[in-house]
Amino acid sequence: MNFRPLRKIADLFDVAGLFLRLGTTAFGGPAAHIALMEQEAVVRRGWLSREEFLDLLGVVNLIPGPSSTEMAIFLGYRRAGWLGLLLSGVCFILPAALIVSVIAWAYVKYGKLPEAEGLLYGIKPVIIAVVAQALWNLGRTAVKTRLLAAVGVGAAALSYLGINPLLVLLVTGVLMLAVHARSQPKGAVACLTPLLGMTSASPLAAAGGTAVSFSLGMMFLLFLKIGAVLFGSGYVLLAFLRADLVENWHWLTENQLLDAVSVGQFTPGPVFTTATFIGYILGGPKAAFVATVAIFLPSFVLVAISGRFVPYLRKSAMAGAFLDGVNVASLALMAVVTWQLGRAALVDWLTITLAVAAVIWLLRYRVNSTWLILGGAALGLARFVMVTGP
């Protein structure tokens, strides 16, 4: 009896269950999301090795779009093929988009954001612990030599000084490739060319400075452009959105844009669901759906194109050297983000204690991070009620 169809169905259910849960509970931004995916896909489920996960991390950092969403799509593809590719992305995005839509409805109706201070107080320290655990696990695999360790330290220093993350990744990749290819430069150039081609997209110019009437078509093209060319963090997204929506087209006010970015930051799942919020306040549920599809669509296309080449990159010694450099730099960028988030999250003895306890539970007892996040949220809400009163 052929059990392959049943196995494929089971894999699809596994993919859907994991990413629906992460889309509902994964707070903290891309670094935290990737840490949670490493724990679930590598440590708990064994879908792929740490080295394979690091290679995917290097690629998602080299292509435009939301890195954690692209990692989810990659993992779904690796586990369950093309259907897994679609299912993982949709399941990771959908819960966050629905949550953001509800918040947007309340925002339109009442003119302000729901209170989230207490919730985040307890969640942020746990997220710091989750990312720290992922950095420890992935770092032991990625840092293979003293040279790679030194390169990682240098990449972290450049990132801390504010150097463009994509430039940091490329410099470290090229450096490791050059070290490996000193005796065969032609091979290095041949190998590096397609990798550089993956990052050749450049932001398109914004529209003219005159106010224009809102339309679904223009909004779709705007978010499609952003999803196709944007590298970097939510702050880079803020710059793109402000240029068009506030300064050029006058569809949003400064305060509305800041509220939209805040919603993307404090809700679970992809930060790019900021687009969902903006679409809702501009044109209701239909516009929210259109904006969400537009900003995430390029990620599915880019992963579908690049995913076929990832296994072959590691087979080439030259491409492997480039990926080694990019992988170490990716972890360095995660470490800098974790340091910055930690300064904002660990603000008193309670948050520090919570973070330390979470690290111990994760590393020693391998507690599922979802339970720790829910526990942190409950603790934060309890403290908020005690401080502010019923």
186-195, 198-207, 361-370: least confidently modelled range: 198-207
* pTM for the predicted model, two decimal places: 0.69
pLDDT of residue 216: 94
Range in 86-100, 188-202, 281-295, 347-361 with the lowest mean pLDDT: 188-202
Position 82 confidence tier, pLDDT thresholds 50, 70, 90 = very high
Looking at per-residue pLDDT, the higher value among 367 and 238 belongs to: 367
Candidate from 34-43, 90-99, 144-153, 339-348 with smallest mean pLDDT: 339-348
Report the C-alpha gap between 213 and 217 in whole angstroms: 11
Parse the chain into domains and list their residue ranges: 4-192+304-388, 216-295
Range picked from 173-177, 238-242, 261-265 for highest mean pLDDT: 173-177
- Provide the pLDDT for residue 81: 92
pLDDT above 60: residue 202: no
Answer whether residue 203 shows pLDDT above 70.
no
| Residue 1 pLDDT exceeds 60 | no
| pLDDT value of position 191 | 44
pLDDT value for 195 = 41
- HEC states along the chain? CCCHHHHHHHHHHHHHHHHHHHHHHCCCCHHHHHHHHHHHHHHHCCCCCHHHHHHHHHHHHHCCCCHHHHHHHHHHHHHHHHHHHHHHHHHHHHHHHHHHHHHHHHHHHHCCCCCCHHHHHHHHHHHHHHHHHHHHHHHHHHCCCHHHHHHHHHHHHHHHCCCCHHHHHHHHHHHHHHHHCCCCHHHHHHHHHHHHHCCCCCCCCCCCCCCCCCCHHHHHHHHHHHHHHCCCCHHHHHHHHHHHHHHHCCCCCHHHHHHHHHHHHHCCCCHHHHHHHHHHHHHHHHHHHHHHHHHHHHHHHHHHHHCCCHHHHHHCHHHHHHHHHHHHHHHHHHHHHHHHHHHHHCCCHHHHHHHHHHHHHHHCCCCCHHHHHHHHHHHHHHHHHHHHCC
Residue 389's pLDDT is 66
Cα Rg of the chain, angstroms: 21
Q: What is the pLDDT of residue 206?
A: 40
Share of residues in the chain with pLDDT > 90 (%): 33
Q: Is the pLDDT of residue 187 over 50?
A: no
Reference 132, options 330, 380, 362, 376; nearest CA is 362
Q: Which pLDDT band, with edges at 50, 70 and 90, does 80 fall under?
A: very high
Would you place residue 239 in the very low, low, confident or very high pLDDT band (cuts 50, 70, 90)?
A: low
* Percent of the chain clearing pLDDT 70 (strictly above): 85
- Mean pLDDT taken over the chain: 82
Instruction: Give the model's confidence band at 219: pLDDT under 50 very low, under 70 low, under 90 confident, else very high.
Output: very high
- Specify the pLDDT at position 198: 41
| pLDDT of 332 over the 60 cut | yes
307 pLDDT higher than 80 = no
pLDDT band at 107 (very low <50, low <70, confident <90, very high): confident
pLDDT at 113: 61
The per-residue pLDDT for 116 is 63
